[in-house]
Structure 1
Amino acid sequence: MSATPNFFVDNWIWILAAASSGGLLLWQQIREGGGGGLTPTLAVQMMNKEKAQVIDVCEPAEFAAGHVPGSKNIPLAQIGEAKGLPGNKQTPLIVVCASGMRAGRAAAQLKKLGYDNAQVLQGGMKSWREAQMPVERSQAKA
Protein backbone atom coordinates (compact mmCIF):
# COMPACT_ATOMS: atom_id res chain seq x y z
CA MET A 1 0.00 0.00 0.00
CA SER A 2 1.20 3.45 -0.89
CA ALA A 3 0.52 6.64 1.06
CA THR A 4 0.89 8.83 -2.04
CA PRO A 5 -2.71 8.69 -3.35
CA ASN A 6 -4.07 9.47 0.12
CA PHE A 7 -1.75 12.47 0.44
CA PHE A 8 -3.19 14.15 -2.67
CA VAL A 9 -6.76 13.30 -1.73
CA ASP A 10 -6.32 14.42 1.87
CA ASN A 11 -4.49 17.63 0.98
CA TRP A 12 -6.11 18.73 -2.30
CA ILE A 13 -7.07 22.12 -0.89
CA TRP A 14 -3.46 22.93 0.03
CA ILE A 15 -2.20 21.76 -3.34
CA LEU A 16 -4.80 23.93 -5.08
CA ALA A 17 -3.84 26.92 -2.89
CA ALA A 18 -0.13 26.48 -3.66
CA ALA A 19 -0.78 26.17 -7.42
CA SER A 20 -3.04 29.25 -7.39
CA SER A 21 -0.50 31.27 -5.45
CA GLY A 22 2.29 30.31 -7.86
CA GLY A 23 0.10 31.18 -10.83
CA LEU A 24 -0.69 34.61 -9.41
CA LEU A 25 3.00 35.32 -8.77
CA LEU A 26 3.85 34.28 -12.33
CA TRP A 27 1.08 36.49 -13.74
CA GLN A 28 2.36 39.47 -11.73
CA GLN A 29 5.89 38.97 -13.08
CA ILE A 30 4.64 38.76 -16.66
CA ARG A 31 2.42 41.82 -16.25
CA GLU A 32 5.20 43.92 -14.70
CA GLY A 33 7.73 43.27 -17.41
CA GLY A 34 9.08 39.84 -16.73
CA GLY A 35 11.07 38.30 -13.98
CA GLY A 36 14.58 39.45 -13.42
CA GLY A 37 16.17 42.61 -14.61
CA LEU A 38 17.87 45.34 -12.67
CA THR A 39 16.41 47.28 -9.80
CA PRO A 40 16.85 51.05 -10.04
CA THR A 41 19.58 50.88 -7.38
CA LEU A 42 21.53 48.21 -9.27
CA ALA A 43 21.10 50.19 -12.50
CA VAL A 44 22.64 53.29 -10.88
CA GLN A 45 25.54 51.19 -9.58
CA MET A 46 26.14 49.83 -13.09
CA MET A 47 26.01 53.35 -14.51
CA ASN A 48 28.54 54.60 -11.97
CA LYS A 49 30.93 51.64 -11.68
CA GLU A 50 30.75 50.04 -15.12
CA LYS A 51 29.88 53.13 -17.19
CA ALA A 52 26.75 51.40 -18.45
CA GLN A 53 24.83 53.27 -21.13
CA VAL A 54 21.07 53.61 -20.74
CA ILE A 55 19.02 52.95 -23.88
CA ASP A 56 15.39 54.12 -23.66
CA VAL A 57 13.20 52.31 -26.19
CA CYS A 58 10.11 54.48 -25.67
CA GLU A 59 8.64 56.58 -28.46
CA PRO A 60 10.08 60.13 -28.66
CA ALA A 61 7.04 61.76 -26.99
CA GLU A 62 7.23 59.33 -24.05
CA PHE A 63 10.98 59.92 -23.79
CA ALA A 64 10.48 63.69 -23.77
CA ALA A 65 7.94 63.39 -20.95
CA GLY A 66 10.54 61.81 -18.66
CA HIS A 67 13.58 59.57 -18.88
CA VAL A 68 16.65 58.42 -16.99
CA PRO A 69 19.19 61.28 -17.07
CA GLY A 70 21.83 60.71 -19.72
CA SER A 71 19.86 58.01 -21.50
CA LYS A 72 19.75 57.71 -25.28
CA ASN A 73 16.39 57.36 -27.02
CA ILE A 74 16.25 54.58 -29.62
CA PRO A 75 12.61 53.51 -30.10
CA LEU A 76 12.00 49.76 -30.11
CA ALA A 77 11.15 49.74 -33.82
CA GLN A 78 14.62 51.13 -34.58
CA ILE A 79 16.71 48.84 -32.33
CA GLY A 80 17.34 46.36 -35.15
CA GLU A 81 19.00 49.09 -37.23
CA ALA A 82 21.67 49.49 -34.52
CA LYS A 83 21.90 53.25 -35.16
CA GLY A 84 23.04 55.13 -32.08
CA LEU A 85 24.23 52.04 -30.22
CA PRO A 86 27.77 51.90 -28.82
CA GLY A 87 30.39 50.59 -31.24
CA ASN A 88 31.88 48.44 -28.47
CA LYS A 89 29.46 45.56 -28.03
CA GLN A 90 30.96 44.80 -24.60
CA THR A 91 29.57 48.09 -23.22
CA PRO A 92 27.00 47.32 -20.52
CA LEU A 93 23.56 48.47 -21.63
CA ILE A 94 20.55 49.17 -19.42
CA VAL A 95 17.39 49.00 -21.52
CA VAL A 96 14.43 51.06 -20.31
CA CYS A 97 10.82 51.64 -21.35
CA ALA A 98 7.67 52.73 -19.52
CA SER A 99 6.97 49.41 -17.76
CA GLY A 100 9.65 46.93 -18.82
CA MET A 101 7.74 45.04 -21.51
CA ARG A 102 9.25 46.72 -24.60
CA ALA A 103 12.64 46.80 -22.91
CA GLY A 104 12.58 43.01 -22.60
CA ARG A 105 11.95 42.63 -26.33
CA ALA A 106 14.64 45.22 -27.10
CA ALA A 107 17.20 43.46 -24.87
CA ALA A 108 16.54 40.21 -26.71
CA GLN A 109 17.12 41.98 -30.05
CA LEU A 110 20.30 43.60 -28.71
CA LYS A 111 21.64 40.22 -27.62
CA LYS A 112 21.02 38.89 -31.14
CA LEU A 113 23.08 41.86 -32.41
CA GLY A 114 25.95 40.82 -30.10
CA TYR A 115 25.32 43.11 -27.11
CA ASP A 116 25.56 40.36 -24.49
CA ASN A 117 25.65 42.85 -21.59
CA ALA A 118 22.16 44.24 -22.28
CA GLN A 119 19.93 44.17 -19.21
CA VAL A 120 16.42 45.43 -18.56
CA LEU A 121 15.45 47.94 -15.88
CA GLN A 122 12.85 45.91 -14.01
CA GLY A 123 9.53 47.75 -14.03
CA GLY A 124 10.85 50.44 -16.39
CA MET A 125 10.38 54.14 -15.73
CA LYS A 126 7.51 53.29 -13.39
CA SER A 127 9.90 51.59 -10.95
CA TRP A 128 12.53 54.32 -11.53
CA ARG A 129 10.04 57.00 -10.44
CA GLU A 130 8.78 54.88 -7.52
CA ALA A 131 12.38 54.61 -6.30
CA GLN A 132 12.48 58.44 -6.39
CA MET A 133 15.35 58.51 -8.85
CA PRO A 134 15.95 61.68 -10.89
CA VAL A 135 13.96 62.11 -14.10
CA GLU A 136 15.02 64.33 -16.99
CA ARG A 137 12.60 65.92 -19.45
CA SER A 138 13.27 67.18 -22.95
CA GLN A 139 11.45 68.39 -26.04
CA ALA A 140 10.12 65.75 -28.39
CA LYS A 141 11.85 65.62 -31.77
CA ALA A 142 9.63 66.49 -34.70
Structure 2
Amino acid sequence: MTDAAAHPTRLDPAVLRDWLATDDTVRVLDVRSPAEFEAVHIPGAYNVPLHLMREHRQELHAHLEQVVLVCRSGMRAAQAEQLLAEVGIPNVHILDGGILAWQAAGAPVRRGRARWDIERQVRLVAGTLVLLGVLTSLILPGAQWLAAAIGAGLIVAALTNTCAMGAVLTKLPFNRSANCDIDKVIGQLAAR
Protein backbone atom coordinates (compact mmCIF):
# COMPACT_ATOMS: atom_id res chain seq x y z
CA MET A 1 0.00 0.00 0.00
CA THR A 2 1.37 3.44 -0.91
CA ASP A 3 1.78 6.14 1.70
CA ALA A 4 -1.00 8.16 0.05
CA ALA A 5 -3.34 5.17 0.27
CA ALA A 6 -2.37 4.49 3.88
CA HIS A 7 -2.82 8.14 4.84
CA PRO A 8 -5.52 9.77 2.68
CA THR A 9 -6.03 13.51 2.93
CA ARG A 10 -9.78 13.18 3.49
CA LEU A 11 -10.94 10.71 6.11
CA ASP A 12 -14.35 9.28 6.74
CA PRO A 13 -15.43 8.79 10.36
CA ALA A 14 -14.72 5.04 10.31
CA VAL A 15 -11.10 5.58 9.26
CA LEU A 16 -10.58 8.26 11.91
CA ARG A 17 -12.06 6.01 14.61
CA ASP A 18 -9.67 3.28 13.52
CA TRP A 19 -6.69 5.66 13.58
CA LEU A 20 -7.57 6.97 17.04
CA ALA A 21 -7.78 3.42 18.36
CA THR A 22 -4.46 2.29 16.86
CA ASP A 23 -2.14 5.30 16.44
CA ASP A 24 -1.18 7.44 19.44
CA THR A 25 0.51 10.07 17.24
CA VAL A 26 -2.81 11.19 15.73
CA ARG A 27 -4.01 14.54 17.07
CA VAL A 28 -7.48 15.86 16.33
CA LEU A 29 -7.65 19.65 16.09
CA ASP A 30 -11.15 21.09 16.08
CA VAL A 31 -11.04 24.49 14.38
CA ARG A 32 -14.57 25.57 15.27
CA SER A 33 -15.34 28.33 17.74
CA PRO A 34 -14.96 27.52 21.44
CA ALA A 35 -18.75 27.63 21.83
CA GLU A 36 -19.28 25.11 19.04
CA PHE A 37 -16.54 22.91 20.50
CA GLU A 38 -18.07 23.12 23.97
CA ALA A 39 -21.48 22.09 22.61
CA VAL A 40 -20.19 18.89 20.98
CA HIS A 41 -16.76 17.52 20.09
CA ILE A 42 -14.79 14.35 19.48
CA PRO A 43 -13.37 12.99 22.76
CA GLY A 44 -9.67 13.83 22.99
CA ALA A 45 -9.86 16.62 20.40
CA TYR A 46 -8.08 19.92 20.97
CA ASN A 47 -9.89 23.17 20.26
CA VAL A 48 -7.76 25.48 18.12
CA PRO A 49 -10.17 27.97 16.52
CA LEU A 50 -9.22 28.94 12.99
CA HIS A 51 -8.33 32.54 13.92
CA LEU A 52 -5.92 31.30 16.62
CA MET A 53 -4.38 28.76 14.26
CA ARG A 54 -3.38 31.60 11.93
CA GLU A 55 -1.44 33.24 14.77
CA HIS A 56 0.04 30.10 16.38
CA ARG A 57 0.66 27.67 13.53
CA GLN A 58 4.45 27.79 13.99
CA GLU A 59 4.08 26.84 17.66
CA LEU A 60 1.71 24.02 16.74
CA HIS A 61 4.16 22.73 14.12
CA ALA A 62 6.60 21.56 16.80
CA HIS A 63 4.00 19.28 18.40
CA LEU A 64 2.16 17.71 15.47
CA GLU A 65 3.17 14.59 13.55
CA GLN A 66 -0.20 13.37 12.31
CA VAL A 67 -3.11 15.79 12.52
CA VAL A 68 -6.78 15.50 11.61
CA LEU A 69 -8.69 18.76 11.29
CA VAL A 70 -12.36 18.95 12.19
CA CYS A 71 -14.97 21.65 11.82
CA ARG A 72 -18.72 21.58 11.33
CA SER A 73 -18.80 20.35 7.73
CA GLY A 74 -15.26 20.68 6.33
CA MET A 75 -14.92 24.27 5.04
CA ARG A 76 -12.97 25.75 7.95
CA ALA A 77 -10.89 22.58 8.19
CA ALA A 78 -9.85 23.09 4.55
CA GLN A 79 -8.71 26.63 5.41
CA ALA A 80 -6.79 25.28 8.40
CA GLU A 81 -5.18 22.65 6.16
CA GLN A 82 -3.76 25.43 3.96
CA LEU A 83 -2.43 27.29 7.01
CA LEU A 84 -0.63 24.20 8.32
CA ALA A 85 0.72 23.35 4.87
CA GLU A 86 2.28 26.83 4.71
CA VAL A 87 4.45 26.01 7.75
CA GLY A 88 5.34 22.55 6.46
CA ILE A 89 3.34 20.27 8.73
CA PRO A 90 3.25 16.86 7.02
CA ASN A 91 0.40 14.38 7.38
CA VAL A 92 -2.47 16.84 7.61
CA HIS A 93 -5.90 15.30 7.12
CA ILE A 94 -9.50 16.49 7.21
CA LEU A 95 -12.49 14.66 8.65
CA ASP A 96 -14.69 14.58 5.56
CA GLY A 97 -18.09 16.02 6.46
CA GLY A 98 -16.80 17.32 9.80
CA ILE A 99 -18.50 16.80 13.13
CA LEU A 100 -21.83 16.39 11.33
CA ALA A 101 -20.54 13.25 9.56
CA TRP A 102 -18.92 12.03 12.79
CA GLN A 103 -22.25 12.27 14.62
CA ALA A 104 -24.20 10.77 11.69
CA ALA A 105 -21.88 7.75 11.84
CA GLY A 106 -22.79 7.25 15.50
CA ALA A 107 -19.22 7.93 16.64
CA PRO A 108 -18.68 8.99 20.27
CA VAL A 109 -18.94 12.66 21.19
CA ARG A 110 -18.69 14.77 24.32
CA ARG A 111 -21.59 17.15 24.80
CA GLY A 112 -21.78 20.37 26.73
CA ARG A 113 -24.13 23.33 26.71
CA ALA A 114 -26.06 23.42 23.42
CA ARG A 115 -25.31 26.46 21.25
CA TRP A 116 -25.92 27.47 17.68
CA ASP A 117 -23.01 26.89 15.33
CA ILE A 118 -21.48 29.89 13.56
CA GLU A 119 -22.95 29.02 10.16
CA ARG A 120 -26.46 29.05 11.64
CA GLN A 121 -25.77 32.36 13.37
CA VAL A 122 -24.56 33.86 10.07
CA ARG A 123 -27.76 32.75 8.33
CA LEU A 124 -29.85 34.33 11.10
CA VAL A 125 -27.99 37.66 11.10
CA ALA A 126 -27.77 37.91 7.29
CA GLY A 127 -31.44 37.01 6.86
CA THR A 128 -32.50 39.51 9.52
CA LEU A 129 -30.46 42.30 7.94
CA VAL A 130 -31.84 41.58 4.46
CA LEU A 131 -35.41 41.52 5.76
CA LEU A 132 -34.89 44.76 7.72
CA GLY A 133 -33.35 46.41 4.67
CA VAL A 134 -36.27 45.48 2.44
CA LEU A 135 -38.95 46.40 5.01
CA THR A 136 -37.25 49.68 5.90
CA SER A 137 -37.00 50.58 2.20
CA LEU A 138 -40.82 50.72 2.12
CA ILE A 139 -40.63 53.72 4.46
CA LEU A 140 -37.14 55.04 3.80
CA PRO A 141 -36.06 54.92 0.14
CA GLY A 142 -32.50 53.69 -0.26
CA ALA A 143 -32.58 51.26 2.68
CA GLN A 144 -32.76 48.37 0.22
CA TRP A 145 -29.03 48.91 -0.32
CA LEU A 146 -28.45 47.29 3.08
CA ALA A 147 -29.98 44.10 1.66
CA ALA A 148 -27.83 44.46 -1.45
CA ALA A 149 -24.67 44.89 0.65
CA ILE A 150 -25.46 41.74 2.65
CA GLY A 151 -26.09 39.84 -0.60
CA ALA A 152 -22.77 41.05 -1.99
CA GLY A 153 -21.03 40.00 1.21
CA LEU A 154 -22.51 36.50 0.92
CA ILE A 155 -21.30 36.26 -2.69
CA VAL A 156 -17.77 37.27 -1.64
CA ALA A 157 -17.91 34.75 1.21
CA ALA A 158 -18.84 31.98 -1.22
CA LEU A 159 -16.20 32.92 -3.80
CA THR A 160 -13.36 33.27 -1.28
CA ASN A 161 -14.50 30.49 1.06
CA THR A 162 -14.22 32.93 3.96
CA CYS A 163 -16.84 34.68 6.05
CA ALA A 164 -16.24 38.08 7.60
CA MET A 165 -19.58 37.95 9.44
CA GLY A 166 -18.70 34.55 10.89
CA ALA A 167 -15.31 35.88 12.02
CA VAL A 168 -17.03 38.77 13.81
CA LEU A 169 -19.63 36.50 15.40
CA THR A 170 -16.95 34.20 16.86
CA LYS A 171 -15.68 37.15 18.90
CA LEU A 172 -19.01 37.81 20.62
CA PRO A 173 -19.20 36.84 24.32
CA PHE A 174 -21.72 34.00 23.85
CA ASN A 175 -19.38 32.34 21.35
CA ARG A 176 -16.42 32.29 23.70
CA SER A 177 -15.58 29.89 26.48
CA ALA A 178 -12.67 28.95 28.71
CA ASN A 179 -11.56 26.33 26.13
CA CYS A 180 -9.95 29.04 24.00
CA ASP A 181 -6.60 29.13 25.87
CA ILE A 182 -4.10 28.40 23.08
CA ASP A 183 -1.13 28.27 25.46
CA LYS A 184 -2.90 25.52 27.42
CA VAL A 185 -3.62 23.58 24.21
CA ILE A 186 0.00 23.85 23.06
CA GLY A 187 1.15 22.71 26.50
CA GLN A 188 -1.17 19.69 26.31
CA LEU A 189 0.11 18.81 22.84
CA ALA A 190 3.71 19.10 24.03
CA ALA A 191 3.02 16.85 27.03
CA ARG A 192 1.67 14.05 24.81
Same fold (TM over 0.5): yes
Structure-2 separation of matches of 1:45 and 1:130: 16
Shift of 1:138: 4.1
Residue aligned with 1:82, SS: helix
Residue aligned with 2:68, SS: strand
User: What TM-score do the two structures reach when normalised by structure 1?
Assistant: 0.67
Structure-2 separation of matches of 1:138 and 1:111: 32
- Counting matched residue pairs gives 106
Structure-2 separation of matches of 1:86 and 1:46: 20
Match of 2:145 in 1: none
Q: Does the 8 A contact of 1:99 with 1:125 survive in 2?
A: yes
2:35 corresponds to 1:61: yes
Q: Does the 8 A contact of 1:95 with 1:106 survive in 2?
A: yes
Question: Structure 2: any 5+ residue segments left out of the alignment?
Answer: 1-8, 114-175, 179-192
Runs (4+) off by over 6 Å: none
Cα separation, partners in 2 of 1:64 and 1:81, compared to 1, 3 Å: same
Shift of 1:86: 5.8
Task: Report the identity percentage.
Answer: 36
Question: Structure 1: any 5+ residue segments left out of the alignment?
Answer: 1-35
Match of 2:86 in 1: 112
Residue aligned with 1:106, SS: helix
Match of 1:141 in 2: 177
Bigger Rg, which one? 1
Q: Does the 8 A contact of 1:50 with 1:92 survive in 2?
A: no
2:102 corresponds to 1:128: yes
Deviations 1:11-64 (A, max 9, x none): xxxxxxxxxxxxxxxxxxxxxxxxx61000111222222220000000011000
What RMSD in Å do the two structures reach over aligned CA positions? 1.9
Query: Following superposition of structure 1 onto structure 2, how do residues 57-96 of structure 1 map, counting pairs within 5 Å?
Result: 57-82=31-56, 85=60, 87-89=62-64, 91-96=65-70
2:20 partner amino acid: M
Q: Does the 8 A contact of 1:53 with 1:92 survive in 2?
A: yes
Q: Does the 8 A contact of 2:61 with 2:89 survive in 1?
A: no
Structure-2 separation of matches of 1:85 and 1:40: 24
Deviations 1:65-97 (A, max 9, x none): 1001010000011112226736244x1101000
2:18 corresponds to 1:45: yes
Structure-1 separation of matches of 2:14 and 2:110: 17
Match of 1:3 in 2: none
Cα separation, partners in 2 of 1:60 and 1:88, compared to 1, 3 Å: closer
Shift of 1:141: 1.8
Q: Does the 8 A contact of 1:55 with 1:74 survive in 2?
A: yes
Decide which of 100, 105, 108 is 2:74's aligned counterpart: 100
- Greater share of helix: 2
Match of 2:128 in 1: none
